[in-house]
Amino acid sequence: MTTTNRNQTAETKPKKTKGQIVRTVLSAVVIVLLAVAIVLVLMQRLRGEPTFIFGRAAVWVHTNSMEPSIPEKSYILVEPVSAENVSVGDVITFHSDDPVLQGGLNTHRVIEIVGDHAEFVMKGDHNAVKDETTAKADKIVARYVRNLPVISVFGRFFMTPAGLVCALAIIAIFMFLLYLPDILKNRKKKAEEAERQKEAEMDRKIREEVEKMKQNADSGPENGSETGSENAQPRKE
């Protein structure tokens, strides 16, 4: 009995359509990408250094000190590098000893190597003079690979309060449109189910009325015959 019920349940369970599968996959991809992006941003802020994935990381450049090579407020792609592999002319990201930056990340160009790659004299392409402090070998984080102009456009916009609100709104609208067909389909199903229930209730009431009419019709002749027989009895004098 239990096996039969389970088989019936499995047979009556609706199968997912291709559209539903596609929407589920897309929503999962969006959620995963958002989660990864949030985790990467939080880790970079908490650790104070980029998080590398497959040997690459994105670093946000705040100032215009490297223009025109690197625009102000833009993302760049970097790769991990050791001090001995750094050459003059390389653009590297390092933890700066500048009191203004307080150990924060800085991205400048190497113009001179001091000693056996122990220190590096740095300078921003846009700056007139070299940096007051050098980059120490043990504080080098990564080497510049290229700019990320598309991500930078989104980064400049979404890092503002208005941009963050727009990003959340876009995500909400996207998720709503993604599941809108299912919502409309469910509403249609509910309306059809309500209509079926209404029709079933009307049929039930009609059947009840018909049954009552039959019962009344059946009981009528019997009462009439009994009355007639009583009247037919001879009157005693």
For residue 168, pLDDT over 60 is answered with yes
Concatenated DSSP letters of 99-153: TTTTT-EEEEEEEEEETTTTEEEEE-TT-SS--SSPEEGGGEEEEEEEEEHHHHH
* pLDDT tens for each residue of 202-225: 888 888 888 888 887 777 655 555
What are the phi and psi torsion angles at 96 (to 5°)?
-85, 145
pLDDT above 70: percentage of residues in the chain: 76
What's the rounded mean pLDDT across residues 34-40? 66
When mean pLDDT is compared across 48-52, 153-157, 158-162, the lowest value belongs to 158-162
* pLDDT tens for each residue of 12-26: 455 667 766 776 777
Domains and CATH numbers, the chain: 55-148 (2.10.109.10)
pTM over cut 0.85: no
